[in-house]
Structure 1
Amino acid sequence: MDKRILYIEDDSDMKELVAEILSYDAYEVITDSGKNIFQILKANSIGLILMDEKLGWCWGSDLCRELRANQVTTHIPIIMISAAKEIDLIAQNSGAIDFIKKPFEMYDVIDKVTRHYPENF
C-alpha cells in the first residue's frame, strides 16, 4: 500500500514541488485547497496531512483545530508548512505535531514527513 499524504495548499507551484519531493520517498500526495478536506479524508486512507497556514479562503490553523476536534480525524498527524513569522507557535496552538518554515530545503520536508508518518499505517 502507498504511503498517502494530503497536502492542503492553494499555490499550484508549491503543490507540484512538494508532491515531487515526496514522490522520491515513495509517498503519494493528494493535494487540495482545503475546501474538500473532509470528503478527501472520507474517501482515502491518509497517513499524514501537510497544511499551509495562509490559504486563500481560510487559515490552515483553523482547519487544523477542526480536525483535532473531530473524533474521526483527531489521530492524523498534521504538519503546518508556512512562511508565517510565528509558524512554530501557530502550529503548537492549533494542535499540529510539527512545522516546516518556508522557504525550506527539500530534505527538511522529507525528514519531517518521515519522522511523523505513522509506522503502522
Structure 2
Amino acid sequence: MADTKKVFVFDDNRDILDLCTFIFEDAGYDVKTSESANEIEEQVAAYMPDIIFMDNWLPDLGGIQATRAIKNNPDLKHIPVIYFSANNDISSLAEQAGADSYLSKPFDIAAIEAMVKKHLG
C-alpha cells in the first residue's frame, strides 16, 4: 500500500474546509485544515503535507505572506502551494505569493481533484 498523500487546506471559511475535507477524504487523501496562517511554518512542518491549498483572505497573516513564508523555508519550499480565491486577479496574486498554481473559487470537485493529481502525479 502506497503512503497516503497528505493535503493541507488553509481557509477562514469553515464551509470550504468541510467541503475540501469531504472531497479529499473521499478521494483517499489524508486532510488537515486550518482557519488561520498564524505560525504557518510550524503548522506546515508539523504535518509535512504533499500539497497545500492556500486561501487569499486569511486572518492576521494573509495568503500571500503565508505562501512566501513556506517558499522561503528550505525545508518546506518543495511542497506545491495551490492558491485559491474568488478574486478576479487570482493569477497575479498567486504569482506575487510564489504559489505553484492557482484555482478560482467557486471550484468544482473535478477541478480540485485534477489539480491534486497534476501536482502529486
TM-score by length of 1: 0.90
Instruction: Quote the residue 1:12 is aligned against.
Output: 14
- 8 Å contact 2:54–2:82 — kept in the other structure? yes
Could you tell me how far 1:104 is from its partner in structure 2? Answer: 1.1
Unaligned runs of 5+ in 2: none
1:114 deviation in Å? 1.1
| TM-superposed deviation, 1:15 | 0.2
- Residue 100 of structure 2, aligned match among 97, 106, 117: 97
> Is 1:44 equivalent to 2:80 in the alignment?
no
Residues 7, 30 of structure 2: 8 Å contact kept: yes
Could you give the per-residue CA deviations for residues 1-48 of structure 1, whole angstroms, max 9, x where no partner exists?
Answer: 221011111111110001111112111110012224322322223101
* Contiguous gaps of at least 5 residues in structure 1: none
* 1:30 alignment partner, SS class: strand
What CA RMSD, in Å, does the superposition of the two structures yield over aligned residues?
Answer: 1.3
Instruction: Return the letter of the residue paired with 1:10.
Output: D
**1:87 is matched with which residue?**
90
1:45 and 1:54 mapped to 2: Cα distance? 22
Q: Share of identical aligned residues, percent?
A: 28
Q: Which residue of 2 aligns with 1:115?
A: 118
- Cα deviation 1:78-118 (Å, max 9, x = unaligned): 0001101101111122111111100111111101111112x
Query: Within the alignment, does 1:67 sit opposite 2:70 as a pair?
Result: yes
Following TM superposition, where does structure 1 have runs of at least 4 consecutive aligned residues deviating by more than 3 angstroms?
none
Local SS of the residue matching 1:5: strand
Number of positions where the alignment pairs a residue of Structure 1 with one of Structure 2:
118
* TM-score normalised to structure 2 length: 0.90
Distance (Å, rounded) in 1 between the aligned partners of 2:50 and 2:10: 14
